[in-house]
Amino acid sequence: MTIGQDTKSLTPYPKVRRMRFRFGQPEPMTHIFAEGDIPLTHLIAVLSAAFPPGEESFIRSVRKFSGEITDPVLEKRVAGFIGQEAVHGQQHRVLNDQLIELGFPIVRLFTFEPGAPRERAVITVENLVPRQVHLACTALAEHYTATLAKRVLGTPEIQLLPGDPEVLKLLNWHAFEELEHKSVAFDVYRATGGSEAVRIGLMAGSYVLTIPVVGLGVFASILSDRRSWRPITVARQSVRLVRGPIVRGLLREMRPYMRPGFHPDDIDTGALLERWRLELFGAQGELVDRLG
């Protein structure tokens, strides 16, 4: 088998789709757009805020190895990965602009133009670590997003959660494409001699920090938004969020990544991708009219 060939995916290369979501149309988004659920709203806001700079970092990590990828299949998959991640960042910026208008100060912290001091600072930090470590961080982040994407698309309870319909469409599209390219960064890492010990060690460290860091981000977002200062409601809803289908058991699903010899395609999402490809982009797909 050619290195980088995805034997379980139904498409050989991630497909770049130029999307145009319509946040706030025809009805304006409400402040707590997850229909009254404060922690869930802020979780989505924090994730959306982090996606554009995160995905730009992922793209840079893969491009550092562009001259060393000799497999033409992997080269095309990398091109698809970069294209998809770029569009993800673009569309999340559109949503983030809406979130800033709605009063989410923490989103503004992650919103900066290319070449801005904050971006230069991020790139400086990236360049201080070995490029294989940067790429390994991308591979493990892609496993996180793929695991969450599988939950979002494969759990009816999550699809039935009330919320802004356009935000849900964005999340479903993003989740779908995360599954399409879930193994690209991993295959670049492996094809360019990435260490198994580094890969597993980085995941072990991030595994311990995931819930505390994300929880702290959501808590900070809530504190920065005076309209969300409803302690009893937030406490009750936070317990429900932690016990609900988004968070419950999520870390357990991350663990296979720390197994020596693991590959993202060991987790077969082919049938899920096929079902959602039809639902989102089939002849009557719900996102056909969002294609730019």
- Residue 91 clears pLDDT 60, i.e. is over it: yes
- Residue 124 clears pLDDT 80, i.e. is over it: yes
- Residue 122 clears pLDDT 80, i.e. is over it: yes
pLDDT reported for residue 114: 82
- Residue 253 clears pLDDT 50, i.e. is over it: yes
C-alpha–C-alpha distance, residues 165 and 207, integer Å:
31
- Residue 32 clears pLDDT 60, i.e. is over it: yes
pLDDT reported for residue 13: 81
- Residue 5 clears pLDDT 60, i.e. is over it: no
pLDDT reported for residue 223: 97
Residues pairing with 19 in the sheet = 291
165, two tokens: 């319909």
- Residue 11 clears pLDDT 60, i.e. is over it: no
The total number of residues written for the chain in this structure:
292
CB atoms within 10 A of CB 5: 15
**CA distances from residue 189 to 63, 67, 133 in whole angstroms, order as listed:** 12, 13, 9
* Ramachandran area for residue 257 (φ above 0: left; ψ -120 to 50: alpha; else beta): alpha
What band does 112 get if pLDDT is binned at 50, 70 and 90?
confident
Return phi, psi of residue 291, to 5°.
Answer: -70, 125
Omega within 30 of 0 (cis) for the link into 156: no
Which string of b and e fits 167-180 if b means at least 16 CB within 10 Å? Answer: bbbbbbbbbbbbbb
Return phi, psi of residue 273, to 5°.
Answer: -65, -45
Q: How far is CA 191 from the centre of its chain?
A: 23
CB atoms within 10 A of CB 98: 20
**CA distances from residue 134 to 61, 94, 170, 190 in whole angstroms, order as listed:** 6, 27, 27, 13
Contacts of 285 by beta carbon, 8 Å cutoff, 6+ apart: 278, 279
Closest CA to 53 of 121, 130, 148: 121
- Residue 210 clears pLDDT 80, i.e. is over it: yes
Single pTM value for the model? 0.94
pLDDT reported for residue 292: 85
pLDDT tens string 142-157: 999 999 999 999 999 9
- Residue 90 clears pLDDT 90, i.e. is over it: yes
